[in-house]
Structure 1
Amino acid sequence: MPRFAIVRRLLCSRPLTKSFRYFYRYTRGGAYRHNETLWPLVKVRRDGSDQLVGCDVLGVRGPATLPLSQVSRGLAGDAHLILSGPSVAKIDYAQCRLGTVMGVNGSIALRRQHASLRFDYYAMLDAGFVKRRRDLVAEVLSQDLLLFVTPEVYRWIALLFDAQVIRCRIALFEEVHQRALQPRARPDELEAQLAADPELVLFDAHHAQHAHGFSLNAARGLFGGGTVAYTALQLLAWMGARTLYLHGLDLTAAAGPRFYESAGAQLATALDKQFSGHIEPAFREAGRLLSARGIKVYNLSPDSRLGGDVFEKRHWSCLLHQGASPPHLLASATS
């Protein structure tokens, strides 16, 4: 077995990674707890403004990364965020004419039924998904797209995949209140840091687990919203999208497994547990902010747990007529 393959296998071993986490947990204060999955394997690089620009994984040459400050912005036309809710399976993508498309986690599986569907951007927040669904991650990495990941997700991509076979470009992001290898900001500290900040809009610094807010500058950090959908929404708004369509934003496990999963074989989800206290309030405030900024957001999941007062609901068939009518003239439909 080649030497680098042995190193990768060792660094991926559960006993070793678990021992690292336990050692870090009991030798650091609680403010550093969110870094336990990074130490000591990941080193981050920052610029003069303390913005994250790259990271390195011990013993492995990972794929190159693109600083968010160099990401092209000014999206033209409509933008589509394709998520993993089961309602996605009801959309006939062969008939839809989509503009810019961003996927998350397992969205890439749609290409197995709709080979012409192209993803321009992608976002991954869950390292567990990378470890458990390597087949889908490999498909994403083979595409000509820009993939947004956290340092933890980057770590597992670098350890599990050969950099030479990765075709996509990769950009790193982090959450505002718990930056990589830095202490977690206390609510009062965060309020002081972001007071009157027009780019990092803080809704609620004192939420039980995660500060609620919305980032208008991804290079300075993103806010967590309990789901990668919230991360992706901030990225698309930052890149300049003025009209956004949300596909598969069902946000409830009761709707069934993700569109690419089968019953009894799906990965666990915390959607139902976090929805009322974390996810729904974050999206509601984000909806108000985006509306005030003239950004239109439409929810194509008719049975989404988010109400129509958060984002206007549309039937996916509205995508069939975009060439003939501007989005705001389309009649709302129900399923």
Structure 2
Amino acid sequence: MPNFGLIPRLLRSRPLTKGLRYFYRYTRPQAYRHNETLWPFVKVRRDAGGRLAGCELRGVRGPATTPLEQLARAIDGDAHLILSGPSVAQIDYARCRLGAVMGVNGSIALRRQRPSLCFDYYAMLDAGFVKRRRDLVAEVLAQDLTLFVTPEVYRWIAFLFDSQAVRCRIALFEEVHQRALRPRARPEELEAQLATDPGLVLFDARHPVHAHGFSLDPPRGLFGGGTVAYTSLQLLAWLGAKTVYLHGLDLTAAAGPRFYESAASQLPTALDRQFSGHIEPAFRQAGRLLSARGVKVYNLSPASRLGGDVFEKRHWSCLLSREADPQTIVEVNP
């Protein structure tokens, strides 16, 4: 159950938060605008190296958090990133042999049909999802897993859910170009900061949407690629995955609602608007970088808008036990 104290109840008020957001927006320089959803609710803690170490919330005590650098990088082998594209519904998880599993947003809904499916990791980037799909978020919070969230998502989890009901471990991350409660870096500043930084690989600081890059050291920040799938891919590579299988990376609203939604309950998406200019270029460059580093990435979505030249496409039957059915590995031509 959520915390029904007076201050948390007021801070969940849409008119109040909207008014505070507008006040912040018009009383701060443009470089600070990305912090409008955090002020005045969130205060971040940083370590001596400037890395995000934790959050303090005004009016409510949130669940405990763990700094990213203190997490065990425990993936040794295959990892599976289960996303929300409708093609996930075609996969028979009862027959699949999986290694480490990471989910995002509504992926947890698969457990309603397959209770034996266990998630080791989870990522949430969209505060709107937390507010609109509290039922699914509650299921994630009740699992024994590591949940990666931004300070904004953490704020809403703390305001909407009782911290005593949180079983998962929570780790905070932020994006490189717009750090929490710090000014947004200008392209030339970002280029200078990362010019000799092997942990934060910058592809294009001057991209009109967000800077393109790939983080090999997430405690120091992650790059946004227009979708939580891109965030998660950086985390899995850092956690030690040598092979990553992408489930449900359809990346188009035309494919239909997310596997756990109906047409009537479908939440909006910017995939079609951002795909060509932002999402596809980010994944393409990340694919080249990961390949050069010996990390294999396979796309299990036959209808994915990402071509087979970005990530090799395979049919989900490649995950079947070879002992049970040695002839089931099928490659999908792009």
TM-score by length of 1: 0.96
Secondary structure at 2:103 match in 1: strand
| Corresponding position of 2:283 | 283
Query: How far apart are residue 19 of structure 1 and its match?
Result: 1.1
Q: Are residues 1:240 and 2:243 paired?
A: no
**Mapping for residues 158-177 of structure 1, pairs under 5 Å:** 158-177=158-177
Q: Does the residue aligned with 1:180 lie in a helix, a strand or coil?
A: coil
Query: Matches of residues 184-199 of structure 1 in structure 2 within 5 Å?
Result: 184-199=184-199
- Does the alignment pair 1:332 with 2:331? yes
In the alignment, what sits opposite 1:88? 88
Shift of 1:74: 3.9
How far 1:330 moved relative to its partner? 4.8
**Are residues 57 and 176 of structure 1, via their aligned partners in 2, closer, same or farther at CA, if it must alter by over 3 Å?**
same
Q: For residues 16-54 of structure 1, give each alpha carbon's deviation from its aligned partner in whole angstroms, at most 9, with x where no partner exists.
A: 101110110011011000000000000000000000010
* Residue number in structure 2 paired with 1:78: 78
Alignment deviations for residues 220-251 of structure 1 (CA, whole Å, 9 cap, x no partner): 00000000000000000011100000000000
* Aligned amino acid, residue 332 of structure 1: E
The AA in structure 1 aligned to 2:113 is Q
Listed as ranges, the matches of 1:240-259 within 5 Å are 240-259=240-259
Q: Distance in 1 between matches of 2:153 and 2:262?
A: 25
SS at match of 2:147: strand
Per-residue deviation at 1:85? Answer: 0.1
2:60 and 2:158 in contact (8 A); partners too: yes
Aligned-partner Cα distance in 1 for 2:112–2:30: 44
Displacement, 1:56? 1.0
Mapped to 2, the partners of 1:160 and 1:290 lie a distance apart of 38
> Percent of aligned pairs with the same residue?
79
User: How far apart are residue 265 of structure 1 and its match?
Assistant: 1.6
Distance apart, 1:3 and its partner CA: 8.8
CA contact (8 A) 2:215 2:223 kept: yes
Which piece of structure 1 moves more, 109-118 or 315-324? 315-324
Partner of 2:117: 117
Indicate yes or no: 2:261 matched with 1:261: yes
Q: How far apart are the structure 2 equivalents of 1:243 and 1:263? A: 34
Whether the aligned pair in 1 keeps the contact of 2:79 and 2:99 (CA below 8 Å) is: yes
Distance in 1, Cα, partners of 2:199 & 2:79: 21
- Residue pair 1:46, 1:53 contacting (<8 A) in 2 also: yes
Contact 2:315 2:329 in 1 (8 A): no
Q: 1:323 to 1:294 in 2, by over 3 A?
A: farther
SS in 2 for 1:242: strand
Distance verdict in 2 for CA 1:198–1:58, change over 3 Å: same
Displacement of 1:322 in angstroms is 5.3
Q: Residue in 2 aligned with 1:292?
A: 292
Deviation at 1:90, TM superposition (A): 0.3
Please list every run of 5 or more consecutive structure 2 residues that lacks an aligned counterpart in the other structure: none
Q: Contact 1:315–1:334 (CA<8 Å) still a contact in 2?
A: no
Which residue of structure 1 aligns with residue 308 of structure 2?
308
Q: How much has 1:264 moved relative to structure 2?
A: 2.4
User: What one-letter code is carried by the residue in structure 2 that aligns with 1:255?
Assistant: A
In the alignment, what sits opposite 2:69? 69
**5 Å matches for 1:97-176?**
97-176=97-176
Matching of residues 21-100 of structure 1 within 5 Å: 21-100=21-100
- 2:19 match: secondary structure: helix
The whole-number CA distance in structure 2 between the counterparts of 1:324 and 1:206 is 50
Distance 1:323 1:100, change over 3 A: farther
CA distance in 2: counterparts of 1:323 and 1:26, whole angstroms: 63
Structure 1 gap segments, 5+ residues each:
none
Residue pair 2:95, 2:321 contacting (<8 A) in 1 also: no
What is the CA RMSD across the aligned residues, in angstroms?
1.8
Take 2:276 and 2:289, find their aligned partners in 1: how far apart are those partners?
Answer: 19
Residue 19 (str. 1) matches residue 19 (str. 2) = yes
**Structure 1 pair 3/120, CA: closer, same or farther in 2 (3 Å)?**
closer
SS at match of 2:95: coil
Q: Return the alpha-carbon distance in structure 2 between the equivalents of residues 279 and 56 of structure 1.
A: 32
Paired with 2:194 and 2:102, the residues of 1 have a C-alpha distance of 28
Count of residues in correspondence between the two structures: 332
Deviation at 1:7, TM superposition (A): 2.0
Deviations 1:30-83 (A, max 9, x none): 100000000000000000000001001101010000000101114122100000
Q: 1:6 Cα shift?
A: 2.3
- Contact 1:124–1:228 (Cα < 8 Å) also in 2: yes
What is the deviation of 1:333?
3.8
